[in-house]
Amino acid sequence: MKIRIIGFVILPVLMMSLSGCGTDEKFLAVDKKGKTVVDRFGQLQVNGTKLCTEAGKPIQLRGMSSHGLQWAGKYANEDVIGWLRDDWNIQVWRAAMYLTQGGYIENPVIKEKVINSIEAAIKLGIYVIVDWHVLSDKNPQVYQTKAIEFFTDIAQKYGSYPNIIYEICNEPNGKDVTWAGQIKPYAEAVIGAIRSVDPDNLIIVGTPNWSQDVDVAALDPIKGEKNIMYTLHFYAGTHGEELRKKAEKALDLGLPIFVTEWGTSDASGGGGVYLDKSKIWLSFLKKHQISWVNWSVTNKGEESGVLVYNADREGKGHWKETDLSESGRFIRQVLRNEIRIP
């Protein structure tokens, strides 16, 4: 009798552990029948401001970003990404390929880390964002020729897989780097190159001012192309209501937004962990069904990183609670639907 009661109580709790209390199955990386998110959602499409499944149902994807692949590329493998899918319930992985600071332009072999990420994501049935991580190089036109060459190659090799999401310009920045002057012309050129090979996978475009000025892009969006979204980035310790207002303005103007990077820390990647402020943001993203990816998988010891200093030095996954930072424990719980986001 006692065992029976325990069975009645514990089993359903165990079964619901990943799906959270009453959480919709659409938030699962793998559903109860063993179907992966890509099995279920298929070829993504954009309708109005919403990211939708192949069948046209609005969805919100959630997942993790790599850290700079030149520093933390050891996590861009099937063991770690598989662990993140099965234990953290990620539906999307972002491969952040810096251009400078030891990135692709200076060190082209870094591309292998992107390839490893893509191959793992295809095997695991999750989506993968191929991130051309414009940052200290500011103006995306500086390496436009390289970007076209790179994305053409990725599209030729992998464009037929629905898993692929192209992020063509992480964070354009600098006073002289404007939407109309540099970013939009760059985006149109790169989108043209990708579309001549891959007609339909999602392409995400960076916005001015470190991907914050989505309202500016919304006044002059890219025309005549389908399945385009725009990036909004925020760091909970630095950005708040003012940036959410910008996002709302852009949404009102019809701009589809994908948060390809956000952190629980301040904009430096450190400076504390701001969980209450993060929850306000997560609630905002949920309300608008905006997909998001959290920065980042690193053990360098900065607060936005999900691992504590020096944990998992070999990139094997199978992390214990003690391997996780404060941010890591929080994000894992959010992804597993164990923290209720209103």
Backbone angles phi, psi at 119, to 5 degrees: -65, -40
Q: How far is CA 107 from the centre of its chain?
A: 23
Q: Does 135 bind ligand IDC (CB under 6 A)?
A: yes
DSSP-derived letter for residue 307 is B
Candidates 170, 182, 291, 327: give the one binding ligand IDC (CB under 6 A).
170
Whether 78 is a known active-site residue: answer no
Give the orientation angle of helix 184-195 with respect to helix 144-158, to 10 degrees.
30
Q: Is 261 a catalytic residue?
A: yes
Q: Does residue 233 interact with ligand IDC by CB under 6 A?
A: yes
In the bound state with ligand IDC, the residue whose beta carbon lies nearer, of 251 and 293, is: 293
The amino acid present at 21, given as its one-letter code, is C
The per-residue DSSP string of 13-36 comes to HHHTTTTTTT--GGG-SB-TTS-B
Total residues contacting ligand IDC by CB under 6 A comes to: 15
CA atoms within 13 A on the CB side of 24: 8
Catalytic residue among 261, 302, 314, 321: 261
Q: Which residue is nearest to ligand IDC (CB)?
A: 269
Binding ligand IDC by CB under 6 A: which of 210, 258, 281, 330? 210
| Residue among 74, 77, 80, 76 nearest 95 (CA) | 76
Cα–Cα distance measured from residue 201 to residue 195, given in angstroms and rounded to the nearest whole number? 9
Identify residues 79-118 at the interface with ligand IDC (CB under 6 A). 101
Give the helix/strand (H/E) hosting 241.
helix 241-252
In the bound complex, what is the minimum distance in angstroms from residue 65's beta carbon to ligand IDC?
9
Stretch that binds ligand IDC, among 122-130, 157-165, 263-271, 309-317 (CB under 6 A): 263-271
Residue from 269, 271, 288, 341 touching ligand IDC (CB under 6 A): that is 269
The structure tokens 């893509």 sit at 118
The structure tokens 């994305």 sit at 151
Cβ 135 to ligand IDC, closest distance in Å? 5
Q: List interacting residues with ligand IDC (CB under 6 A).
A: 101, 135, 170-171, 210, 233, 235, 261, 267-269, 295, 300, 302, 304
Catalytic residues: 171, 261
